[in-house]
């Protein structure tokens, strides 16, 4: 008879006891990697909380002196004048005007270029065109601002008599060119995620390439395209240097794109140049305007996330 050795029942218990007394080296290495990653992730959260805290404190101090109703309903914005008015609707109208012009430029061109890159361009052409298009996103915005002022505005003045040197039209057009890569790249990525089987099925039914692109691919990637549009709007609303250089610093309540206007970001630049004493009411206006801008972009980001979650298509 062959006698098998008895298993050591106490060995697993000793091993577990040793594991409890001292973590293995792998656990220590994982912990050493996890802590720096956690700290890196917390940096953005702490920064956001700090920004919100500063905005909230200064904005509350502003509204102790200026009624909220006047801030929302007054049709003049002259906090730096002797007769002070604090109507944010003036700056808001200028911001929305330049944003609307930029969207009229960026959204159609961005979507059309995305359709071409996704459905028509050959792989070699796509590898060249997409990086070239994305180079536009790397150009400093101050360069775009002077491009609008020194090139686009004189060109438009030759076509539109009476166009002011500083105007919302040239600023909006150049802003649309600036955010064009954002719309095109994100929309093309959304279209690239559409399964090839959908395209092949449409081709098998006799659809043309244009029909496949417009009736199959674009509807299937609609959530990503809409999210790209909303993020582009948010980017245009927060743009600073182009509107500060090319649109002017005239707080006028108007929807005429041919005259000088002032946006919320341009006003923040104007007051932040150092001529306004810190702690004064005029100085605190930039925080009230910044809070309004923050709330507006936050709302757009929430809508973008809701669109992604509500209309996202998942393919197996």
* pLDDT exceeds cutoff 70 at 20: no
In a 13 Å sphere around the CA of 207, the CA atoms on its Cβ side amount to 17
Residues 127 and 28 in one domain: no
First vs last C-alpha separation in the chain: 59
Residues 20 and 151 in one domain: no
> Does residue 316 sit within a domain?
no
Strands, E assignment, the chain: none
Residues 49 and 139 in one domain: no
CATH number at 143 reads 1.10.3720.10
Q: Residue 168: what pLDDT?
A: 93
* pLDDT exceeds cutoff 90 at 90: yes
**Percent of the chain having pLDDT more than 70?**
90
By the 8 A CB rule, do 221 and 117 touch?
A: no
Tokens of 60: 């509350």
- What residue numbers bound the domain in which 185 lies? 72-311
pLDDT digit string, tens, across residues 143-191: 999 999 999 999 999 999 888 899 999 999 999 999 999 899 889 988 9
pTM score, two decimals?
A: 0.83
Residues 23 and 119 in one domain: no
Residues 17 and 156 in one domain: no
Of 64, 83, 103, the last residue of a domain is: 64
Residues 207 and 285 in one domain: yes
Residues 78 and 180 in one domain: yes
Q: Which residues contact 120 (CB under 8 A, 6 or more apart)?
A: 209, 213
**pLDDT, mean over the chain:** 85
By the 8 A CB rule, do 187 and 228 touch?
A: yes
Residues 76 and 206 in one domain: yes
pLDDT digit string, tens, across residues 186-234: 899 889 888 888 888 888 888 888 888 888 898 888 888 988 898 899 8
Kindly state the helix (H) or strand (E) to which residue 248 belongs, with its residue range: none
Residues 54 and 76 in one domain: no
């Amino acid at each position: 008879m062959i006698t098998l050795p008895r298993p050591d029942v106490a060995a697993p218990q000793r091993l577990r006891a040793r594991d409890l007394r001292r973590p293995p080296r792998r656990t220590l290495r994982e912990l050493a990697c996890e802590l720096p990653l956690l700290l890196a992730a917390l940096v953005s959260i702490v920064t956001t909380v700090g920004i919100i805290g500063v905005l909230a404190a200064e904005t509350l101090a502003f509204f102790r002196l200026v009624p909220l109703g006047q801030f929302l309903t007054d049709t003049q914005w002259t906090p730096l004048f002797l007769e002070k008015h604090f109507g944010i609707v003036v700056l808001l109208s200028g911001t929305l005007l330049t944003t609307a012009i930029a969207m009229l430029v960026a959204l159609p061109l961005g979507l059309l270029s995305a359709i071409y890159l996704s459905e028509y361009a050959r792989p070699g052409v796509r590898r060249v065109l997409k990086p070239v298009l994305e180079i536009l996103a790397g150009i400093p915005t101050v360069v775009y601002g002077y491009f609008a002022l020194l090139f686009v505005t004189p060109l438009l003045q030759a076509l539109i008599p009476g166009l002011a040197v500083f105007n919302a039209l040239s600023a909006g057009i150049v802003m649309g060119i600036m955010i064009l890569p954002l719309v095109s790249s994100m929309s093309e990525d959304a279209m690239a995620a559409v399964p090839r089987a959908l395209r092949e099925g449409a081709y098998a039914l006799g659809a043309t390439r244009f029909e496949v692109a417009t009736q199959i691919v674009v509807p299937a990637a609609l959530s990503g395209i809409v999210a790209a549009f909303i993020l582009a709007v948010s980017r245009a609303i927060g743009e600073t240097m182009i509107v500060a250089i090319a649109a002017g610093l005239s707080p006028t309540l108007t929807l005429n794109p041919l005259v000088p206007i002032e946006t919320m970001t341009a006003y923040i630049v104007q007051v932040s140049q150092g001529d306004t004493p810190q702690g004064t009411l005029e100085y605190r206006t930039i925080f009230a305007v910044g809070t309004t801008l923050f709330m507006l972009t936050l709302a757009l980001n929430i809508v973008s996330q809701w669109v992604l979650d509500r209309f996202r298509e998942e393919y197996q």
